[in-house]
Amino acid sequence: MDPFQPKFLATGIGSVPFIEAERGVDFALGHLPDAPFWPQLPQRDLTEHLEIQFTEGMPRVVIDRDKGRVHFDTAGDYSEDFAAFYETYLAAMDPESGSGDCSAAAISPAYAAGIDALENRLSRSGGRRPFVKVQVTGPCSLALTVTDENKRAIYYNDEFRDVIVKALAMKCRWQIQKFRRHAGRVICFIDEPILAAFGSSTYVAVRREDMVALLAEVVDAAHADGALAGIHCCGNTEWSIPIDAGADIVNFDAFGFGDTIVMYAGAVKAHLERGGCLAWGIVPTSTAIREQTVDSLAANFEAAMDRLAAKGIDKRLIAEQALLTPACGVGTLSPADADKVLTLTAALSRAMRSKYGFGG
């Protein structure tokens, strides 16, 4: 497969501030036609919230609409539930006998209306987009955010944690299989906001090697269907974690935490030199967007790349292996602010490509 050199390709993160899936598709396709994403609609329903959206079909999951939360029921005997899950998992995912068909892990419109809405729109329009981006909640974030019935993070239950990562791996592959006929290549982002809290006193019992292994399992699932795997964190973290997990793309909030990537220059250099990419979330997803222009963002971006280049990384390589994204999703913004975020993301992509002679 040809090397991935995005050269300032622009894409989005996921959440949008709309209730209607069709409006979200208009938003994504209108701004980012070369790499559209399916819109997550957290304002539409509780089931589209980050910690719930990908739990559909997982054994022993309970959604409490009155309390607006989800948990896993670990009480009693769940052996039959788990046996049924693993039978389904192995039928699809076993490296020797599995069919590879992950439709058993399909995400329904009740949980993600934007998936079918985008797929239907792409089917009607015909042709193939250069890229289509899909996304899944990361196993670390889901398992450390969702609890059992006693409000203990389900991450600390090894049996349930294994089911969660395997279910997410299947959901990742199902999305890729759904969209690959519409794209030259599918990009799958694994959204891991919890990585920003790694190392804090709250998660002192969480081991780095375990987080890397969980992420690697979902990354490997994306690779199994020929997709590019990205790991997104909209805060500061130990950036060698997604690199060690094998991610092709490391997506970070370069507007708010642009300096933090420099601390891992050695790992980043190796990542870029073996064909990995950085997705620079250089466009803010807060009210700070109201003061930004293409010129101000370009200046900020150049300065951030210069700081990384000063650590011994060829700047041309940094540029060739750079994607552009908003810092995070825009689901909490007003429609006007969200529109400006993607308008500037697309305009900055064009400006940077022109400056560096990449075309487009």
For the chain, the average pLDDT equals 96
pLDDT digits (tens, 9 = 90+) for 244-281: 999 999 999 999 998 999 999 999 999 999 999 999 99
Q: Residue 283: its pLDDT value, please?
A: 98
Specify the 3-state DSSP secondary structure of 67: coil
Query: Do residues 101 and 6 lie in contact, with contact meaning Cβ atoms separated by under 8 Å?
Result: no
Backbone angles phi, psi at 167, to 5 degrees: -65, -40
Q: Is the Cβ–Cβ distance between 234 and 190 less than 8 Å?
A: no
DSSP 268-316: HHHHHHTT-EEEEEEE--SGGGGG--HHHHHHHHHHHHHHHHTTT--HH
3-state secondary structure at position 129: strand
Residue 1 confidence (pLDDT): 63
pLDDT digits (tens, 9 = 90+) for 68-110: 999 999 999 999 999 999 999 999 999 999 999 999 999 999 9
Please tell me the distance from the alpha carbon of residue 45 to that of residue 181, in angstroms, as a whole number: 29
Task: Reply yes or no on whether the pLDDT at 177 is more than 60.
Answer: yes
- Indicate whether this model's pTM tops 0.85: yes
In order of their start, the domains of the chain are: 9-355 (3.20.20.210)
CA 193 to chain centre: 10
Does pLDDT of 5 surpass 70?
yes
- Would you say 188 and 230 are in contact if contact means Cβ atoms under 8 Å apart? yes
Asked whether the predicted pLDDT for residue 360 surpasses 60, the reply is no
pLDDT tens digits for range 305-346: 999 999 999 999 999 999 999 999 999 999 999 999 999 999
Is the distance from CB of 229 to CB of 246 less than 8 angstroms? yes
